[in-house]
């Protein structure tokens, strides 16, 4: 037992690696491919998250702007002051649109 266990393991590992050069090359290539793919997927995920966050902020801002415009509009004021007339107008417009769509 002139060699230590670690030296024997190292020799065995080297022998195994030398016996399968094609397999080892394929293994290295596949590992590189998986690493590259993981980097690309990670980058794509980050881009998607940033875009979704940006879109969410933009939509919230637009919603706030539309709410402000609606609260200041004359239509809201009229609808609040004349709810029965507003319902009648909505009903009439609905009937008109419905009859136009039936003709096609």
CA distance 87 to 97: 15
Q: How far apart are CA 95 and CA 7, in angstroms?
A: 91
pLDDT of residue 58: 96
What is the residue-level pLDDT of the chain in tens, covering all 104 positions? 456 777 776 776 666 656 677 887 888 888 888 889 999 999 999 999 999 999 999 999 999 999 999 889 898 888 889 999 999 999 999 999 999 999 86
Contact 64, 57 (CB under 8 A): no
pLDDT value for 7: 75
């Amino acid at each position: 037992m002139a060699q230590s266990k670690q030296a024997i393991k190292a020799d065995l590992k080297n022998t195994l690696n030398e016996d399968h050069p094609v397999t080892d090359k394929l293994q290295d290539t596949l590992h590189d491919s998986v690493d590259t793919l993981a980097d690309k997927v990670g980058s794509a995920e980050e881009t998607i998250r940033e875009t979704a966050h940006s879109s969410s902020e933009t939509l919230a801002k637009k919603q706030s702007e539309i709410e402000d415009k609606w609260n200041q509009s004359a239509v809201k004021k009229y609808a609040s002051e004349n709810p029965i007339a507003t319902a009648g107008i909505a009903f009439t417009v609905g009937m008109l649109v419905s009859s136009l769509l039936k003709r096609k």
